[in-house]
Structure 1
Amino acid sequence: MNKLAKMLVLGLVMLMIFSGCSNNSKNSVSNEDNQEVVRFSVTLPASGVDNPNSLVGKEWHKSMEAYMGKKVEIKYNYIPASEYDEKVKLMIASADLTDFFITPLFYDVSQMAGQGQLLELAQYKDLMPNYMNYISKVKNGMKRVTNSDGEMYAFKETSTPRFPEDRGMLIQNTAAYRYDVFKENNIKIPDTLDEFYEAAKKVKELYPDKYPVATKFNSLRSLFSANHIRDEIFWDGEKYVYGVLEKGYKDALQFANKLYSEKLLDPEYTIDTDDTVKRKALNGDNFMWLTQWFTTPAEYTRTADDGKIFAVSLYPDNPDYGKAWQEVVNANTPDLGWGAYAINSKAKNPEELIKFIDYQYSDEMIRLITWGIEGTTYTIGEDGLPTFVDSLKNAKDPWLEGDKYGMRASRNHNPGLQMVSDSRAFVDFAATDYTVFNGKYEEVPIEKSEFLTSLPLHDNDYIPSWLSEPSIQLTGNESQRISEIMNPVKTFVTEEQAKFVAGKNSFDTWQAFIDKVQKMGAIDEALKIYNDAAQRATAN
């Protein structure tokens, strides 16, 4: 082979080697660049802690990557809890939604579904075995998660049992009192609204520059419950009615007006946030709460750590209506919680998201999210069930100690997608509450209160009528029509309610107010839709 030929061959070999190396290098880069990754964005309420980077949050992310067999990249959009509902409603109105989000509380998604904003989930049933298995254990489960056309537009929060099937009553909203002040001044913890009023006057005498009474959630719900109504459409035990049109609604507002006019009710009750309610409680600005979240007063007690005792009790009765209905939730059988979670119809990877979300309802993930990490935060007892380690249960403030790890059962954390939890963990982990039931003061976790745990589930006068409402299914058109009717009515009623309480509206104009409510929207039509749906449900 001559010199020129050798040079050509050598050049060709070098070119082949170079090309091969280049191709291999290019493929490696391509594989690196195109490595399969599950990417999506989520909108969640902020809890004031760093859930993704807590110990449990990191373990959840690691476990999800192992399950999906891919890297997982989540873009979190956290919104303060007090602002969440309004801001998400603005996102909905502007169609500026993340791939996955928690809907506003008690939000009717039918209009969003009709506008094509939400992914219809029932078509993916085969991809969500864990969720469907859980729904099968819930009474009327499928009816409660689908509309009358069998369509499903939201996942539901889970609620596993805390108590036996036949006894035990879980209340998640209560009245609350500065027990130390009441005890020191020989003021009785009220059993009735009249006693509540008299107690407020006595506290006012002690602290004339303070407003004795406040409420959480800007809510007068305890007064409505005392009068056996809600300020919305609700099941009264026989049919759906609109509570605003019932006598009990006016009676409740007149009582609130009496508190307001005598400077017993904090005039800022309509705008107070959770933070301002807490600040005023700790500062000694308020002493009685018409409504509180059932574990919050004990948190106040531990935070103050100076002799202040914030105790919970049942909503006071209005004897004209009987025992006050309490804010009871089903803690006796598998059930669904309040939260609803939806997928944006524009999400680019719906099947991946479905698979990802469905795994949240698996036993493995429910245990991880709620209990944390075996050997670190919990162990398995002789009964085969998890129980928290002694260093957590015996801590002065178990929730505060639990926050170091970030599992759901601790005070502030809600790792993962905030969808699931094992309610037994809350009982096992429960910190001390300060309770007054039947006139007896106890320092005991409310879930372990002898009074509450011994109550029969049936033949119980505290149980509200709506806890046994039929599992109705509304068509898309029915839901949309109800929204059209009731949304403007709700806005109007909320505004006028505050005016009646503050004395800006005279109760002499009550009938004019009721007439305007009825003229604003076709209330009878809305009620007919609900009651027709109830007849369909009971017929089936």
Structure 2
Amino acid sequence: MKRTIVLVISLLLIASLAMAGCSKGEDKPAAEDTGKTGEASEGTKEAGKDAPEAGAEPEVIKLRAFQSSFGEDPSNTGLYKAWLEKMEAHIGKKLDIEWTYVHSDDYPEKLKLQLASGDVPDILSGTKDAEIMFQFGNQGALLDIAPYIDEYAPNYKKFLESTQYAEKTLQTPEGKMFFFGDGFQNDTGMVDSAYGSLYRFDIFKKHNIKVPESWEEFYDAAVKLKELYPDVYPVNAQEWPPFHETFYYTNHTKGDIYWNGEKFVYGPTEEAFKEGIMYVHRMYKEKLLDPEFLTQSQDQLKQKVTTGKSFMIPFAWLGWWEQYSIPEQGIEWGAAILPKNEKYGEPWMQGAALPGLTAYPNYGTMISAKTKYPEIMVQLLDYQYSPEMIDLMTWGIEGMNYEVKDGKRVRIMDPSEEVKNAKLEWYGEGVTRQGFVFAPQNHAPDVSGYKDMPFYGKGQYESLNPFVGTGKFHSGKSAIPTWDLAPVIRLSKEDEAKKAQVMTAVKTYLDENLSKFILGERNFDEWSAFQDELTKIGDYQSIVDSMNELAIK
């Protein structure tokens, strides 16, 4: 009798639980399977919410990726395996990815052919020409990701929110977005650069000459060195960047159309531009500047600076200091920030690292409008903008790729055999860029890859990482060139073609005549006539006006 009562009670309990489950399910109709993988949690989607129960086979998402490549196959590295594991854990599904890699040299043309064919892979690398992405997006080949941002891309949304002019740069006038912009994260706390000036510190110390902090001091130091070494040209220039471009940054101008912080202008019409060219001419005329500075190669320059033929390079990539220095011979090259032009204030930085998070329109990643899984594709790309994935893909694994010293991460420059065997040693190397290219880059690991070098600033010599040096002796955001913060203008196809035709002709004539002014083949009394000649070569002002009409709406 007792067994019967127990059995009846058990059956009633099971029935009541089943009814409760059915009642709960009636609150919401069953959702159609669209690839949605869960709700947001602390800024990222809850990984694996739709993951199958233990023991069940996870759903497999098949997708095709058409990617720009820089050399080696990234899918044969330890980092790729770590990336794939995290991606699958994030969406709670297995990924079966068919990769097609195209070398970066051929990629722009092959991408256009792929997009025009109508057979568009699920995910594609973008190009530096954002117009291509907007063109094919407007034609219906690419997914408009704007409707998915709030729900499926919380990480990328943070990049958009912190990017100046994002609505003009990354969207169409109607608010459509056809690509994830190239992400950049700078958590160093500095606005810095790997460009500045290089000097023979041992020579400056020997003769008690001050390392220049202004263009007046630069000229005075060159004159003094010429007196001490009559057979030497104290000043020289790299093949790139050329000497006269120094003044783009110190005189706050440019040799092209640029954004001056308020509007677009044509730099060569500005007095600041002329002043820079006149300074270079003066150095050349007084035999302070190597006469071959316009034509020599980088190898020819290196031979001169390592044999005592030149002592000052006003504008250079600071990484060259080590190749220029010969410690056993007492040859010591070191760095400083660009000389200041008191008239224009703080010198700007070439390649300034913007603070915080930035989404650039140069390069990006696109999604096919025909993908079966739009939500999942957006989530996959968004996850690459998460702090976790940016750390993995730029720093790597602690103990293998970096270590923590004094509370800071430092890259391990000499990888172990274990790291080499696992192909984990080149996390940030361009030839094996990982994931769906272009994944965001973190500035801090790049900084940690540079050695400390001799650096001069504010009256003293120090040993500093070049980024730390430029960050220390510049004044933060005021050192960012205005053109690095400019709105990107989307001209019509006709206006873009007109701009290319006009500005190509104008630039060719400009470059030819700048050389003549610098070398004394044209007198600066002719500068006004030269300006008139530029106008006749091409109507650049109409281009400037059309760009401002779009930018200042």
On whether the aligned pair clears a TM of 0.5, the verdict is yes
| Counterpart position of 1:28 | none
Cα pair distance change 1:103/1:436, threshold 3 Å: farther
> What CA RMSD, in Å, does the superposition of the two structures yield over aligned residues?
4.7
Secondary structure at 2:335's aligned position in 1?
strand
Structure 1 Cα separation of the partners of residues 512 and 125 of structure 2: 29
Task: Letter of the 2:256 partner, please give it.
Answer: E
Cα pair distance change 1:150/1:374, threshold 3 Å: same
Deviates more, 1:130-139 or 1:110-119: 110-119
Q: Output one character per residue of 1:105-159: Cα deviation in whole Å (capped at 9) or x when no partner.
A: xx5x437855889965535763872434432343443333124343445543322
Tell me by how many angstroms 1:213 deviates: 0.8
| Counterpart position of 1:387 | 409
Structure 2 Cα separation of the partners of residues 305 and 121 of structure 1: 60
Aligned ranges 1:219-230 → 2 under 5 Å: 219=242, 220-230=244-254
| Counterpart position of 1:75 | 101
Tell me by how many angstroms 1:529 deviates: 2.3
Number of residue equivalences: 469
| Counterpart position of 1:325 | 348
Cα pair distance change 1:177/1:418, threshold 3 Å: farther
Tell me by how many angstroms 1:222 deviates: 1.4
Match of 2:509 among 492, 503, 510: 492
Tell me by how many angstroms 1:432 deviates: 0.9
Deviates more, 1:309-318 or 1:120-129: 120-129
Structure 1 Cα separation of the partners of residues 500 and 143 of structure 2: 22
Cα pair distance change 1:110/1:291, threshold 3 Å: same
Structure 1 Cα separation of the partners of residues 282 and 521 of structure 2: 13
Task: Letter of the 2:323 partner, please give it.
Answer: Y
| Counterpart position of 1:173 | 195
| Counterpart position of 2:273 | 249
Task: Letter of the 1:314 partner, please give it.
Answer: I
Task: Letter of the 1:334 partner, please give it.
Answer: L
Structure 2 Cα separation of the partners of residues 169 and 492 of structure 1: 35
Tell me by how many angstroms 1:370 deviates: 0.8
Identity %: 23
Secondary structure at 2:529's aligned position in 1?
helix
Q: Output one character per residue of 1:170-205: Cα deviation in whole Å (capped at 9) or x when no partner.
A: 234212222223223433211222332343355556
Secondary structure at 2:240's aligned position in 1?
helix
| Counterpart position of 1:83 | none
Deviates more, 1:474-483 or 1:179-188: 474-483
| Counterpart position of 1:4 | none
Tell me by how many angstroms 1:215 deviates: 2.8
| Counterpart position of 1:529 | 546
Cα pair distance change 1:89/1:430, threshold 3 Å: same
Structure 2 Cα separation of the partners of residues 415 and 465 of structure 1: 32
Aligned ranges 1:364-513 → 2 under 5 Å: 364-378=388-402, 387-388=409-410, 392=412, 405-408=425-428, 415=434, 417=437, 419-427=439-447, 430-449=450-469, 452-453=471-472, 457=476, 462=479, 464-466=481-483, 469=486, 471=487, 473-476=489-492, 479=496, 481-513=498-530
Tell me by how many angstroms 1:69 deviates: 0.9
| Counterpart position of 2:257 | 233
Structure 2 Cα separation of the partners of residues 208 and 430 of structure 1: 35
Structure 2 Cα separation of the partners of residues 153 and 499 of structure 1: 45
**Structure 2 unaligned blocks of 5 or more:** 1-59, 416-422
Secondary structure at 2:248's aligned position in 1?
helix
Structure 1 Cα separation of the partners of residues 273 and 69 of structure 2: 34
Structure 2 Cα separation of the partners of residues 428 and 121 of structure 1: 37
Aligned ranges 1:182-201 → 2 under 5 Å: 182-201=204-223
Q: Tell me, yes or no, if the aligned pair for 1:162 and 1:427 is still in contact at 8 Å.
A: no
Structure 2 Cα separation of the partners of residues 475 and 153 of structure 1: 17
2:539 aligned with 1:518: no
Cα pair distance change 1:93/1:429, threshold 3 Å: closer
**Structure 1 unaligned blocks of 5 or more:** 1-34, 80-86, 396-402
Query: Rg: which structure is higher?
Result: 2
Q: Tell me, yes or no, if the aligned pair for 1:41 and 1:77 is still in contact at 8 Å.
A: no
Q: Output one character per residue of 1:16-41: Cα deviation in whole Å (capped at 9) or x when no partner.
A: xxxxxxxxxxxxxxxxxxx9975555
Match of 1:267 among 273, 277, 292: 292
Q: Tell me, yes or no, if the aligned pair for 2:194 and 2:351 is still in contact at 8 Å.
A: yes
Tell me by how many angstroms 1:226 deviates: 2.3
Normalised TM-score (structure 2): 0.67
Structure 1 Cα separation of the partners of residues 167 and 460 of structure 2: 42
Task: Letter of the 1:189 partner, please give it.
Answer: V
Structure 2 Cα separation of the partners of residues 175 and 532 of structure 1: 38
Tell me by how many angstroms 1:363 deviates: 3.0
